[in-house]
Structure 1
Amino acid sequence: QKYHCDACNKDITYLVRIKCAICPDFDLCVECFSCGTELKDHKSDHDYRVLEMLDFPIFESSWGADEELLLVEGLELHGVGNWEQISDHIGTKNKIECADHYDRVYVQSDVFPSPVCHYSYGFEILKTSTKAQLPPPSRPLSSAPANHEIAGFMPGRREFEHEFDNDAEQQVKDLEFTEDDTPEEIALKCAMLNIYNTALSRRAERKKFVFDRNLIDFKKASRYKKRRPKEEKELYHKMRVFAKLMTESDFQVFMDGLLAELRLRMRIAHLQEYRRMGITTHRDAAEFEKERAIRPFFRNLNSAAGNSGSSSTIPTTPSYSTRTPSTSLTPAPLGGRKPANPLDVTNTDGVELLTEKECQLCSSLRLFPRAYLAIKDIIIKENLAHGFIKRRHVRSLVKIDVNKTSKIFDFFLEMGWITNVS
């Protein structure tokens, strides 16, 4: 027997329905009942009964209460023995199952003609068994600020406000199977459901990919990428399309191999560059890299000094084709020249890394903060390596005006950053 809502004509055969206790054969769906729908003689204040699905067992585990009612109705309509018609009336059992069930439960009952109920209350048993089959809920992600910074992500539900293919539900939200559907319409609706299931599968795959690799913690991922050189970042961006074809561990092994190969190629290129420039020892290579690193800072320094009339030149990279030690390439300022005005370093790059005294020193010596920091790094590292450093050693390391070098050396001694040996 089919049941339809008398208000919206919705099929509620297999749903919870509200039956009016006053109006005969008047059923409502839950939605219409909650709105207080009134039709003809039916009023919203009438008594009612809530009828749920009777799919829980009463006498045998394989027969639900709804099937038991249909069996009794079939016996009343067609009579005992007409099992073919009774099975058609039930719809879910064949004639042999109907006959065996009637004989076993009703005829052979110890309290004939009443059957023996083996279940205290089938609905509670069904509810308990269903609850036991549910997997334990996964522990939700902590509601840390990093999670909420991802727009639309809900860590407690492990869902996104805008899912992948977010409009997939729009195609099937009004889909409904009715008794009047033609085979072509049923096939079309099934095809739409298959398309929707495919969209759900693709959505689940992407969410699993995100959670398995902990991509929700985007700050950690960004910090990991920032530590890599530019060449390794470019390689990672090219290869990450293969991540969805591998597990996280396999992709990590794959990337480690490619990065190791890249580092070897870069190292070989550096060594070939040294050989073309005549550098044959590690000591010469280290000296070359040191001077090449600070060369841009001195270029900016000399550019500013040239604009203000200062006499300093850009240091040139010494030749490493011979082992002859290099000499200072910066001549001392000419005597009698008027000292240059202090340099304004207030808005220069790197000034936030200096103390007030260091800012005053850079201003008086007309040194840019970045150049000063490079010089400071070289001197302090040499002092840590040997435990002390001499003034003439500083002059050989830093190829700038010897007067500026002496003032920097004295300032570092005053601050206690280096140790001098007479």
Structure 2
Amino acid sequence: MLLDAVEQYGFGNWEDIANHVESQKAQECQEHYINFFVQGNIGKATFPTEYGFRVLDHTCPDGGPLSPSITVPVPPLDLSIQEQQELGYMPFRDDFEREFDNDAETLVSGLSINHDDDDLDIEIKLCQVDKYRLRIRERERRKKLARDYGLITSAASTSSKQSKSQQQKKKMSKDVREFQEKMKSFSQFHAAAEHEHFFEDLQKEKELKSRIKELSRYRRHGLTVISEIEDFEDEKYRREKKKENRKKMVSFLLSARLLRPKKRLLNSDQTKLNSLKKSRRKSRKLDILIDDDEVKDDDTEEECKEMASQPGYEMLSERERKLCNSIGMTPANYSTIKTCIIKDYLQRRQGFPVKIRYPSGMDKTHRRKIMSFLSDNGWIGVT
């Protein structure tokens, strides 16, 4: 009855056990159970006196791995409040607001051991913990390096120098700043002055290579004397300026003539167009007086190359390309005009009273050249 009561009411609930037994009191039931079942032969055979696994206190001051006596607190650095705020440094914790590899804790922040994890899941999580420990060890190595070499105090004392260097960086070109950023990885192997000298040497090497390339270009153009370079650059600038003005003029004429075919030009636009025509004729006369054959050949070749990049160029024949180049018309506009003329001509052949349409504002000379070209090549009959 005693064993049944202990099983039913639980060990230690001696009052309910005594009520179940009825013949014994609570104290007697407790003594009898402990003497015969806990400390008796049954207890000695059931409960071992020595345990194979014992919990050890690793935080004891005897030298455990977590003992506070192992790590000596680092004395805080002597920095003013303003310097601490500029560096984001917390001296009593010896930490920064933003540490190296600041997101390293994300590796283990969401880890937890679940009851349904198998051996593979546990091994993966342990590998993540090892990776986290390596990153934390690298962070501590850098902090120790900064403390041993006095980089924290020197960084606080040189904040004004950094502001000056930032002003110098603003004066640098974008390419120089990007190149300096790429060279930062080598600063860990150099002292400050040595790294600055290294960067200046690389910049000098880059400038020398650029100068050699420029002189090679002059040599390819037949220049052998330094004094000829200035005249060459002036002549090159004059040709490019003339070519740019010609492009602007042609684009304006095309937009004025072809982009608005059903609208007449306003008086101001007509006046501007006439002035542009006169200036173009004057520029052509000046080109005849000033330019030599080589310059003309260069301009013609450049215009051909420019027209070859425009849409519709590959659809034209060689004679049509020469015609477009001579009248300064784009291949797309020429194809549109040619289609309209041939279509109107065919309708007239079928008996429809259709008048051949031309774009509004089109030059009569250009119109005559296109009509004669089409009739000579058999596209249309003689009109």
Which one has the largest radius of gyration? 2
Q: Same fold (TM over 0.5)?
A: no
Scaled by the length of structure 1, what TM-score is found?
Answer: 0.29
Q: Which has the higher contact order (CA 8 A, sep 6+)?
A: 2
TM-score normalised to structure 2 length:
0.31
Structure 1 or 2: more helix by fraction: 2
